[in-house]
Structure 1
Amino acid sequence: MDTFNPRSTAKIAGHPIHPMLIPFPIAFFVGTLVVDIVFSRTGDPFWSTAGRWLLGAGLVMAALAALAGLTDFLSGPRIRALPAAWHHMIGNVTAVLIELVNLWQRFAHGDGFVVPVGLVLSAVVTLILLYTGWRGWEMVYRDHVGVAD
């Protein structure tokens, strides 16, 4: 059996790509929650427009992060054996699907969708991201995925 830590296969100059990309969709999705709260307080359409832009940027960056993460997941049988990896992946896919619906409905229904439904969806995704981030870091700290000793 391999005695080395599980390795990331999607990397640049030895550095895993997935952890380089994930801060972007997290920031964009949490930022969406922030601007939804501001929109709910002010009613200023600027904030609902900002929310659509943040959701769009978050979905693009989430797709890139998912591509790198899925590459690692599929190429590493030791990674696939970790329950945390499955929870991390399933939770993040769920979050992205919720945000995809969130953006679609904002285009379909306009500003009226943001409060309360869009706001609730943004809050749910933020909670999911807290959980999946915890599970992702658990893989790094406990299982040493992608860690070079």
Structure 2
Amino acid sequence: MSQDRTQDPFAGNVASSVHVAGHPIHVMLVTFPIALVCATLGADLFYWWSADPFFVRVGLWTSGWGFAMGVAAAASGTAELLLVRGIRRSAEPWSHAVAAMMLLSVIGANWGLRLLEGASAVLPWGLFLSVLGLVFVGLAGWHGGKLVFEHQIGVEGSKD
């Protein structure tokens, strides 16, 4: 669906200010927590199916690294939000930020639960938190995708 760029509060391209060689750091980092949240859910499902303790360890590592990489992505995203005036003037980036912080809270709780409880944490609460994490990955990703594809945030040059 095409949008009238004159109505867009981001009209005129809002380039990333937190980048390496023109590549936005936040966009590069978010792929890791997304993949690791999916991997944690996969480990939980395999543990549920097989009861193999290997998958408990996999879930512990993937949830921990997912949280760590999520913190790194959040730091770069927060810097982007605060440093670029054109980004923080609209509600849409804040919606993305709130969804991403909810995601970070859920995956942090998931990792903490696994650290404290071990294998007994996986079923049912670890699995529940893994599914909830996937829901927030979708929500934060949808809002982030709107910022990139509809509003061209962090994209150099115009497609017009």
TM tier, smaller: over 0.9
1:105 aligns with 2:99: no
Q: Give a deviation string over 1:58-87, Cα, whole Å, max 9, x none.
A: 111111111111111001222112322111
TM-score between the two structures when normalised by the length of structure 2: 0.88
Aligned match for 1:31, one of 39, 52, 68:
39
1:117 aligns with 2:106: no
C-alpha displacement at 1:3, in angstroms?
6.2
Letter in 1 for 2:32: F
Q: Which aligned pairs between 1:1-149 and structure 2 lie closer than 5 A?
A: 4-149=12-157
Letter in 2 for 1:40: W
- Name the CA distance, whole Å, in 1 between partners of 2:11 and 2:30: 28
Letter in 1 for 2:85: P
- Decide which structure has greater helix share: 1
CA pair 3-28 structure 1, distance change in 2 beyond 3 A: closer
RMSD of aligned alpha carbons: 1.6
4+ long deviations beyond 4 Å: none
TM-score between the two structures when normalised by the length of structure 1: 0.94
Letter in 2 for 1:121: L
Q: Name stretches of at least 5 consecutive residues in structure 2 with no aligned partner.
A: 1-9
Q: Give a deviation string over 1:66-118, Cα, whole Å, max 9, x none.
A: 11111110012221123221111111111111111111111211211101110
Give aligned pairs, total: 149
Q: Name stretches of at least 5 consecutive residues in structure 1 with no aligned partner.
A: none
